[in-house]
Chains A and B, each alone.
Chain A
Amino acid sequence: MHIVVCIKQVPDSAQIRVHPVTNTIMRQGVPAIVNPYDLFSLEEALRLKDEYGGRVTVLSMGPPQAEAALRKAISFGADDAILVTDRAFAGSDTLATSFALASAIQKIHEDMPVDIVFAGKQTIDGDTAQVGPGIAKRMDLQLLTYVSSITDLDLENREITLHRRAEGGVQVLKTSLPCLITMLEGTNEMRFATLPNMFRAARYPLKQWDKDAAGITDVSKIGLKGSPTIVSKVFAPQPKTIPAEIIDCESKQPKDLAVTLLAKMFTKFPNLHEDIAKANA
């Protein structure tokens, strides 16, 4: 069995700051990490490999420094890693990105047939959740998003059974390989890197593919040209600022502050009485 896992290197969004004057992202000092959602898919792929054998190839598209993310994946136990990197990809939106990745997976498939493609549910920087479905449609793979568990894999009949989170419930689905799966967060826990794998990751001769190596001939489908969406404006949120009415009283005692607040609030918003009564019912 051959599994491809698509991962992305992202800036740790929890640590991103915006320059107060220029409204641009201050990248200095913000650590680059493997998109956390991708790790649930990578772990699931490694579990399938543990149980059924086979190989796990990790694939990423990004600048040359994204190889750090791929080495991280090798340290967790992935077998091979390919970085698709080319200046021609600059400015790609999700449609162009899914085209480039689908081309690369097709190329990988020609060397060693691919049975399952995993992708993250979404990224923490773009948050679009569109690249997984995009790859599936381009490669005509069965699309299975928000998967919470894989209950059965029948390699002989090439069938897979799994649980998928739907609105208001869980679908138990059975489908055929090849397929593309995005895992729901919190469904598994990434293993620790072993010492031998860490050594292997450090020495691994990582493959870098440019657009030609990834089998891309139609340059109108990648980069800015291949991207229907255009960013027309980037700006810092400027939400309304109507300062709060600060509750104060002579005693400054919590009890008096609370009573003052309630008196003011229920006078100005008498309907809240009814709302609270309703919530309590």
Chain B
Amino acid sequence: MSEETEKDAPKKPAGRRKFELDPRLASYKGVWVFVEHERGVAHTVSWELMGEGRKLADKLGVPLAGVVMGAPGIQTRRFCEEAFHYGADLCYLMEDPLMADYRNQPFTKGLTDLVNAYQPEILLLGATTLGRDLAGSVATTLQTGLTADCTELNIDMENRSLAATRPTFGGSLLCTIVTLNYRPQMATVRPRVMSLPKPDMTRTGSIVEHALGMTESEIVTKVLEYIPDNLQGKPQLPFADIIVAGGRGMKRPENFQLIWDLAKVLGAEVGATRPIVQAGWVELDRQVGQSGKTVRPKLYIAAGISGAIQHRVGMDASDVIIAINSDPNAPIFDFATYGIVGNAMTILPALTEAFRQQLATLKVAV
């Protein structure tokens, strides 16, 4: 488990001399995006990746394909249609009742078989519980390179390789990783890191079907039951339009009530930095940042948050950021939209009241 050497100072900069791809790998062409779905709904990370995949495919001048695997039915076809709307030129479709639920064994075999049969040069998956389970298994089976949790994907035009950039050491550094003499080049990206492209409902594409070729008796793990999450009352930060978040500058747990008060007036979700979650002031699902959720709300209000890089990577795609901090030199003022230098404990109630009045006049106007 010694990835640390990989992250240390660069050992051997790649691409210094002209790189020649092994001729056996030259037949690997095209960019693929694994389309993840659960209970009849596609995960939006798949469409975020489709947007990125489109850019990579255009740079390389190759087609973009979606990979849809699941039980036969109208849903898998619908996911193919959706993949076309979000930019795919074609879809590889594998339908089998054995894939009604996600299980590592059939999905690993299915995806590995598809890669061996149709040979993509790049394969992207969402860094979800399913995507990470599957990507690690497929990459090991194919004996190829996999870069996890990328924040930026690009093509190094000198050798047509995927340059995958990811944070390391808790976000203190970034590293760009390439997989030169192995195919496909695999990468995962966390939900909400990439923006969702606008779907084009007029786009269509072709479907290539491929059989799984497995029987239930070959699959060791059985699904006895699936217990859906009760989402009632569960924080849904990644998709919230407005977030009010607090950090160490809130000083005491009882002060955090001021965050909740403002959030209530705005209909917002409450977020927090890692120290706040570790201190147990709010639950883990509310942590924003490198080791928590990535969010992209329309409005993010950060109170008592210094803006350390570990927090910033999770929220700086927000449209408007209001920062309240008593330290005028806090890094958050380097990238927030608006800043108020002052004591969050007195500013927050004032802000809550101002928003309340603003919203009241709004209601009268409507």
Q: Which of B61-69, B114-122, B196-204, B218-226 contacts A (4 or more CB under 8 A)?
A: B218-226
Chain A contacts for B337, CB-based, 8 A: 244-245, 265
Complex Cα distance A127/B313, Å?
Answer: 15
Interface string of B133-157 (1 = CB under 8 A from A): 1011101110111111100000010
Tell me the residues in window 84-135 of chain B with beta carbons closer than 8 Å to chain A beta carbons: 101-102, 104-105, 108, 128-130, 132-133, 135
Chain B contacts for A133, CB-based, 8 A: 104, 132-133, 135-137, 140
B4 at the A interface (CB under 8 A): yes
Chain B contacts for A264, CB-based, 8 A: 338
A230 at the B interface (CB under 8 A): yes
Question: Looking at the complex, which one of B15, B129, B140, B333 makes contact with A167 (CB distance below 8 Å)?
Answer: B129
Contact call B178/A125, Cβ cutoff below 8 A: no
CB distance from A171 to the nearest CB of B (A): 6
Complex Cα distance A230/B4, Å?
Answer: 13
Which A residue's beta carbon lies closest to that of B309? Answer: A237
Complex Cα distance A134/B134, Å?
Answer: 10
Contact call B179/A230, Cβ cutoff below 8 A: yes
B253 at the A interface (CB under 8 A): no
Tell me the residues in window 207-246 of chain A with beta carbons closer than 8 Å to chain B beta carbons: 224, 227-237, 239-246
Tell me the residues in window 324-357 of chain B with beta carbons closer than 8 Å to chain A beta carbons: 328, 332-342, 346-347, 349-351, 353-355
CB distance from A249 to the nearest CB of B (A): 10
Chain A contacts for B316, CB-based, 8 A: 239
Contact call A231/B7, Cβ cutoff below 8 A: yes
Contact call B145/A257, Cβ cutoff below 8 A: no
Q: B-side binding surface: helix, strand, loop or mixed?
A: mixed
Chain B contacts for A244, CB-based, 8 A: 321, 323, 332-339
Chain B contacts for A265, CB-based, 8 A: 320, 322, 337-338
Given A169-B39, A237-B167, also A145-B129 (CB < 8 A): yes
Contact call B3/A138, Cβ cutoff below 8 A: no
Interface string of A259-273 (1 = CB under 8 A from B): 101101110010111
CB distance from A228 to the nearest CB of B (A): 3
Complex Cα distance A186/B284, Å?
Answer: 10
Question: Looking at the complex, which one of A229, A231, A255, A281 makes contact with B350 (CB distance below 8 Å)?
Answer: A255
Question: Looking at the complex, which one of B12, B133, B172, B349 makes contact with A146 (CB distance below 8 Å)?
Answer: B133
Question: Looking at the complex, which one of B104, B140, B169, B334 makes contact with A134 (CB distance below 8 Å)?
Answer: B140
Tell me the residues in window 70-94 of chain A with beta carbons closer than 8 Å to chain B beta carbons: 89-94
Which A residue's beta carbon lies closest to that of B312? Answer: A239
Given A166-B38, A174-B224, also A91-B229 (CB < 8 A): no
Complex Cα distance A163/B349, Å?
Answer: 43
B9 at the A interface (CB under 8 A): yes
Tell me the residues in window 183-208 of chain A with beta carbons closer than 8 Å to chain B beta carbons: 186
Of B10, B168, B241, B362, which is in contact with the most chain A CB atoms at under 10 Å from its CB?
B168
Question: Looking at the complex, which one of A92, A97, A130, A168 makes contact with B139 (CB distance below 8 Å)?
Answer: A130
Chain B contacts for A166, CB-based, 8 A: 38, 102, 129-130, 226
Contact call A247/B6, Cβ cutoff below 8 A: no
Complex Cα distance A124/B128, Å?
Answer: 17
Contact call B340/A247, Cβ cutoff below 8 A: yes
Complex Cα distance A61/B163, Å?
Answer: 28
CB distance from B361 to the nearest CB of A (A): 10
Question: Looking at the complex, which one of A129, A130, A245, A280 makes contact with B338 (CB distance below 8 Å)?
Answer: A245
Q: Which of A5-13, A46-54, A109-117 contacts B (4 or more CB under 8 A)?
A: A5-13
Question: Looking at the complex, which one of B9, B132, B137, B299 makes contact with A276 (CB distance below 8 Å)?
Answer: B299
Contact call A167/B130, Cβ cutoff below 8 A: yes
Chain B contacts for A93, CB-based, 8 A: 3, 6, 145
A153 at the B interface (CB under 8 A): no
Chain B contacts for A240, CB-based, 8 A: 335
Interface string of A143-168 (1 = CB under 8 A from B): 11110000000000000010001111
Complex Cα distance A161/B223, Å?
Answer: 10
Contact call B225/A172, Cβ cutoff below 8 A: yes
Given A174-B224, A230-B180, A275-B242, also A126-B3 (CB < 8 A): yes
Contact call A272/B298, Cβ cutoff below 8 A: yes
Tell me the residues in window 156-198 of chain B with beta carbons closer than 8 Å to chain A beta carbons: 156, 163, 167-182
Complex Cα distance A131/B148, Å?
Answer: 12
Question: Looking at the complex, which one of A94, A165, A269 makes contact with B146 (CB distance below 8 Å)?
Answer: A94
B232 at the A interface (CB under 8 A): no
CB distance from A218 to the nearest CB of B (A): 12
Contact call B14/A232, Cβ cutoff below 8 A: yes
Chain B contacts for A233, CB-based, 8 A: 10, 13, 175-176
Complex Cα distance A144/B276, Å?
Answer: 31
**Chain A residues near B (Cβ < 8 Å):** 6-8, 10-11, 13-14, 16-18, 23-25, 35, 60-62, 89-95, 97-98, 101, 119-120, 123-134, 136-138, 142-146, 161, 165-176, 186, 224, 227-237, 239-247, 253-255, 257-259, 261-262, 264-266, 269, 271-273, 275-281
Other A-B contacts than A239-B309, A261-B351, 5 sampled, CB-CB below 8 A, are A126-B1, A239-B312, A247-B338, A265-B338, A280-B266
Sorted nearest first, the 5 A-B pairs with minimum C-beta distance are A133-B136, A228-B145, A126-B3, A244-B339, A13-B170
A–B complex contacts, Cβ < 8 Å, 28 sampled: A11-B169, A13-B170, A17-B172, A23-B173, A61-B2, A92-B2, A95-B139, A123-B3, A126-B3, A126-B7, A127-B168, A130-B139, A130-B140, A136-B137, A143-B133, A168-B229, A170-B227, A171-B225, A172-B225, A175-B222, A230-B177, A232-B176, A233-B10, A237-B309, A239-B316, A254-B346, A265-B338, A269-B320
**Chain B residues near A (Cβ < 8 Å):** 1-15, 36, 38-39, 43, 101-102, 104-105, 108, 128-130, 132-133, 135-137, 139-141, 143-149, 156, 163, 167-182, 220-229, 240-242, 266-268, 274, 284, 291, 298-299, 309, 312-313, 316, 319-323, 328, 332-342, 346-347, 349-351, 353-355, 358-359, 362, 366
